[in-house]
Structure 1
Amino acid sequence: MSLGYQDFFLFGACCCALASLLHLGCIVFGEPWYRFFGAGDKMIQLVNQGSSYPHRLTFFISVVLMVWALYGWSGAGFIRELPFRDLVLCLISGVLILRGLMAKPLSQKISGNSIIFWWVSSLICLMMGLSFLAGLMLR
């Protein structure tokens, strides 16, 4: 059995949706979730101080990831075709691949996160971006 373009789009979309829900979990469950998922020391400190900034940023990321999931499902043909679908899927793929390749530079520029966080999150982003790219190339 070979994988088709729909499989790659579905994989990328489901990963984005799961990541979106996990980000929402951080907002709901607070500091333990932020810490578990690798938020930096500055973010943890802001959460503990009651700042709304970490929650607003996390919510924004969650919304972006859910929009990306919708575009992935659209690319797979599971929901209607969204505006500029192929262009947006190319951009999503590019952003995710670029983020995936940035583990070392980001870990050196942004302090407070563990190196494990940077490598794991970068690998996940790279995997999602390549999945969207494979879907585009196969379709």
Structure 2
Amino acid sequence: MRLDRNPWLLAGGIASGLAALVHLACIAGGSAWYRAVGAPPQVVHAVERGAWQPVLVTVAIAAGLTIWAAYALAGAGVIRRMPLLRLALIGITAIYLLRGLMFRPELLGRPDLSQTFALWSAGIVLAMGLVHAVGLRRGWNQL
């Protein structure tokens, strides 16, 4: 497979993979890392108490992001083709774009988040969605 076929989906795959690693780093780093990435205070306190729920949710998010990275890398031609590739990439792109447009904490149903965190995270996720969208559009015929 050619590595240069779809650099946009390659970048999207790398970004999703890095996001998964950041989530796993939060587990390893404990409450300080959760706090640093903007987790709500109740999540930070739960981690400090040793609750398993935040870790389980974080692992699930990291697993989902890893799967999304694999689909983007498959679309880029870096790894073998995956089932329902077009449909999956459409869904992943839509989720990233929709989440990116939710830049206010109340839009996320999370008034406990700071406005700064909501804006930064929305900007990052929106950029990831746009990268996926360009990659999906440019690589459509090869997918």
Answer yes or no: same fold by TM over 0.5.
Answer: yes
What amino acid does structure 2 have at the position aligned with 1:53?
Answer: Q
Kindly indicate whether the alpha-carbon contact (under 8 Å) linking 1:5 and 1:136 is maintained by their aligned counterparts in 2.
no
Find the residue that maps to 1:82 and give its secondary structure.
Answer: coil
- Alignment correspondent of 2:32: 32
> For residues 82-113 of structure 1, what are the alpha-carbon distances to aligned partners after superposition, in whole Å with 9 as ceiling and x for unaligned?
00001100000000000000121546731332
> For residues 42-85 of structure 1, what are the alpha-carbon distances to aligned partners after superposition, in whole Å with 9 as ceiling and x for unaligned?
10111111110110000000000010000010000000000000
Structure 2 segments unaligned to the other structure (5+ residues): none
- Judge which range, 105-114 or 89-98, deviates more: 105-114
What amino acid does structure 2 have at the position aligned with 1:51?
Answer: A
Find the residue that maps to 1:44 and give its secondary structure.
Answer: helix
Kindly indicate whether the alpha-carbon contact (under 8 Å) linking 1:107 and 1:115 is maintained by their aligned counterparts in 2.
no
Where do 4+ consecutive residues of structure 1 move more than 3 Å?
A: 105-108
- Alignment correspondent of 1:102: 102
- How many residues are treated as equivalent by the alignment? 136
Q: CA–CA distance in 2 between the matches of 1:108 and 1:126?
A: 14
Say yes or no: does 1:52 pair with 2:46: no
- Alignment correspondent of 2:90: 90
Kindly indicate whether the alpha-carbon contact (under 8 Å) linking 1:8 and 1:132 is maintained by their aligned counterparts in 2.
yes
What amino acid does structure 2 have at the position aligned with 1:66?
Answer: T
What amino acid does structure 2 have at the position aligned with 1:88?
Answer: A
Q: TM-score, normalised by structure 1?
A: 0.92
Say yes or no: does 1:75 pair with 2:79: no
Q: CA–CA distance in 1 between the matches of 2:123 and 2:72?
A: 19
- Alignment correspondent of 1:6: 6
Structure 1 segments unaligned to the other structure (5+ residues): none
Kindly indicate whether the alpha-carbon contact (under 8 Å) linking 1:5 and 1:138 is maintained by their aligned counterparts in 2.
no
- Alignment correspondent of 1:124: 124
Find the residue that maps to 1:109 and give its secondary structure.
Answer: coil
Kindly indicate whether the alpha-carbon contact (under 8 Å) linking 1:40 and 1:111 is maintained by their aligned counterparts in 2.
no
Q: CA–CA distance in 2 between the matches of 1:50 and 1:136?
A: 41
Q: TM-score, normalised by structure 2?
A: 0.90
Q: 1:7: how far off?
A: 1.2
Q: CA–CA distance in 2 between the matches of 1:67 and 1:43?
A: 24
Determine what percentage of the aligned residue pairs are the same residue.
Answer: 36
Instruction: Indicate the RMSD between aligned Cα atoms, in angstroms.
Output: 1.5
